[in-house]
Amino acid sequence: MSRAGSITGGRRAWLSSRSGVIKAGRLLASLAATLLGLLLITFLIGRVMPIDPVLAVVGERATNEVYMATRAAMGLDEPLIVQFFNYLREVLTGDFGNSLLTSRPVIDDIARVFPATLELATVATLIGVILGIPAGVLAAVHQGRWPDHLVRLIGLFGYSMPIFWLGLMGLLIFYGKLDWVAGPGRLDVFFEDIVPQVTGVILIDSLLAGDTEVFANALSHIILPASVLGYYSLAYISRMTRSFMLEQLAQEYVTTARVKGLSEARVIWRHALGNVMVPLITVVALSYASLLEGSVLTEIVFAWPGIGFYITNALLSADMNAVLGGTVVIGLVFIGLNLLSDVLYRFVDPRAR
């Protein structure tokens, strides 16, 4: 009996591991297809844009010989499809080429700009989540009364104010007038290059190096742009939380819980909120992903050297290696966050296991 059981158990394990492999294989295949499609589309868009990448390098007044030589050196005299496959071959060996604008390997550039965006987006999302979810719950619980109106008003303001304006006003008030936070940039110039770069995220690197002064300065720099971006994600998260919660609070199990005599706090924060976690994870992941693309306007106002500014600048100068490299990174971020949400679903929702 026990032997038979173990045999069946083993077979089941084998079966499930086989289906696991199949699943993983499918996942990888769809991942590869997604990335390939993304690259192809970005590549083609880059080539049909009315900007000449050669001119971006040699300038308008270059002689024809210099122009043609540069064009050939950049491989632009090959047919489009050949150019794409050449590029793909190099990417597969881990070589994203050099950026035209910075003259450095794209991979190095991204290693520099992406952590800046990651740091900003993460702090912003934390702000959005920590404030947005309770605000949404508060609004749902007090539906139609002033806390609800207040939260909705704050959300509406966050949605409708141009982020550029919000950033400038924030700088003017909290940096210019009140002196509460530091100005544009990731650090005061005097703090730059003090802590060794490990992750590229200054808040983490400074802690790793045990340098609290640099940490405090970095925090002072990040708090305002992160709040501005966080406000935007707060607006989104609180609105979605509110509507998910309203739906849950109308369910019969909530009434049952109350009838059972559970405290209102437990009903709301444990039972109702527990059930909106799954859709909320999607909302938070989406909002996080959109911040990880880089917010060009925020980056410009706060002189934040992130990936949004990097890609936009590259796009405007037809620096296609940089654009494609950035696209791959952002594509991977989206895919990674999707996977992460899948894992989290399983964690919070037993049915998904």
**254-273: contacts with other proteins (CB under 8 A):** 254-255, 258, 263-265, 268-269
Nearest Cα neighbor of 109 from 311, 318, 337, 317 is 311
Task: Work out whether 206 is an interface residue with other proteins (CB under 8 A).
Answer: no
**95-124: contacts with other proteins (CB under 8 A):** 99-104, 109, 112
91, amino acid identity: V
> Closest CB to other proteins among 39 and 287?
287
Residue from 39, 106, 129, 141 in contact with other proteins (CB under 8 A): 141
> Closest CB to other proteins among 221 and 285?
221
The pair of structure tokens assigned to 177 is 């007038």
Task: Work out whether 51 is an interface residue with other proteins (CB under 8 A).
Answer: yes
> Closest CB to other proteins among 248 and 338?
248
Least CB distance from residue 211 to other proteins, whole Å?
13
Q: Which H/E stretch holds residue 112?
A: helix 106-141
Least CB distance from residue 130 to other proteins, whole Å?
8
CB 103 within 8 A of CB 70: no
Nearest-10 Cα torsion for 59, 64, 67, 71: 150
Least CB distance from residue 83 to other proteins, whole Å?
20
Least CB distance from residue 92 to other proteins, whole Å?
24
Give the C-alpha separation, 63 to 296, whole Å.
35
* Count, residues near other proteins per rule CB under 8 A: 75
Q: Is 253 helix (H, G, I), strand (E, B) or coil?
A: helix
Task: Work out whether 253 is an interface residue with other proteins (CB under 8 A).
Answer: no
Least CB distance from residue 272 to other proteins, whole Å?
11
180 burial level (CB within 10 Å; 0-12, 13-18, 19+) = exposed
Instruction: Name the one range near other proteins by CB under 8 A: 16-24, 76-84, 245-253, 287-295.
Output: 245-253
Residue from 69, 194, 204, 209 in contact with other proteins (CB under 8 A): 69
Report the DSSP beta bridge partners of residue 105.
98
Q: Which H/E stretch holds residue 6?
A: helix 2-48
Least CB distance from residue 114 to other proteins, whole Å?
13
**291-310: contacts with other proteins (CB under 8 A):** 300-303, 305, 309-310
Residue from 35, 126, 161, 219 in contact with other proteins (CB under 8 A): 219
CB 88 within 8 A of CB 39: yes
Q: Is 117 helix (H, G, I), strand (E, B) or coil?
A: helix
Task: Work out whether 190 is an interface residue with other proteins (CB under 8 A).
Answer: yes
Residue from 63, 160, 196, 210 in contact with other proteins (CB under 8 A): 63
> Closest CB to other proteins among 3 and 177?
177
Instruction: Name the one range near other proteins by CB under 8 A: 9-17, 33-41, 83-91, 189-197.
Output: 189-197
Residue from 140, 286, 291, 292 in contact with other proteins (CB under 8 A): 140
Long-range contacts, 171-176 (Cβ 8 Å, 24+): 171/224, 171/301, 171/302, 174/224, 175/224
Task: Work out whether 192 is an interface residue with other proteins (CB under 8 A).
Answer: yes
Nearest Cα neighbor of 226 from 322, 312, 139, 130 is 130
CB 214 within 8 A of CB 189: no
**5-24: contacts with other proteins (CB under 8 A):** none
Neighbouring residues of 307: CB distance < 8 A, sequence distance ≥ 6: 110, 113, 114, 116, 117, 292, 293, 294, 326, 329, 330
